[in-house]
Amino acid sequence: MPLAPPDSGGELSERLGLKPLSPELLAEALTHASYVNESDATALSNDRLEFLGDAFLGMVVADNLYRTAPEVGEGQLTRMRAEVVRGTTLAAAARRLGIGEYLVLGRGEEAAGGRDRERNLAGAFEAIVGAIFLDHGYRAARSFVLRVLAEEITRVKAAGAMIDPKSSLQHLVQARWHEPPEYVTVEEATGESGRRFVVEVVVQERTLGRGSGTSKREAQQAAAREAVARLLEEGGEGA
C-alpha cells in the first residue's frame, strides 16, 4: 500500500514557514530508506531528494558567502561553506523545526533512536530543501535556506579563524607552547542513538577542551572549538 502523506494537515509546512508542499513530495522527503526496506516497497525513500537538496544547499550557501564576504579567499570560503552545510549543523536546524517528529522510519530504525539521529535529521532537511525547490521553485527554496540557516551563516562569517577548530587550535598551541595538542578519547559508547565519543584535547598535561560527537572527528572538532574559545579568552596566541 502506498505511504499516506505524513502531514496532510500542513502542520509541518506551517512550521517551515511555507505554503503547503505537495503531499507526495513531502511524504517522500520524510521517508527513511528503512521504512521502504521493512514495510512498503512501493514508497519512495528520501535518498534522491536528499541528493538534490544537498547540491542546492551547497550552491546557495556558496553564493551567499561569495557575495557577502568579498574579502575572504577561496580556501576560507570552502571551509565556511563546509561548516554551514555539515551534518551537525543541518541536524540542529532540523531539530529546531521539529522535523524528527514527522520522519517515517522502519521499526528497527525507530527502536534504535533514529528519530533523533543526526544523519537522519540532516538527510531529511536536505530532502525537504529538494522538495521545496521542485514544488515551489528556486526563489522559495533559496529564501528558506537563508532564513533557516541565517544564524549559522552569520556565525561562520564572524568566527574567522575558528571555522576549522582543529587547525585554529594547532596554530594557537604551536605559537604558545611549540608543540602540537593531543586528542584523547576518554569515552566510547554505543546506545539507542548510536555510537558516541567523548574526546579531550590536552597540552602539557592541561585539558583545554572537551567535546562529544557521533564520530571521533566530530568529538575532536568540538573539543578543539572549546579549547580555542578558552585560549582566546585568556589572551590569544600572544599570551
Q: Rounded distance, CA 101 to CA 94, Å?
A: 10
Residue 73 has a CB neighbour count (10 Å cut-off) of 8
Instruction: Name the grid cell of 30.
Output: 520524510
Give me the active site residues, please: 54, 126
Q: Rounded distance, CA 202 to CA 184, Å?
A: 7
Quick check: 169 and 163 in contact, CB under 8 A?
no
Q: How many CA within 13 A on the CB side of residue 194?
A: 14
> What does the CA dihedral 219, 220, 222, 225 come to, rounded to 10 degrees?
180
User: Taking the mean position of all CA atoms in its chain, how far away is CA 73?
Assistant: 23
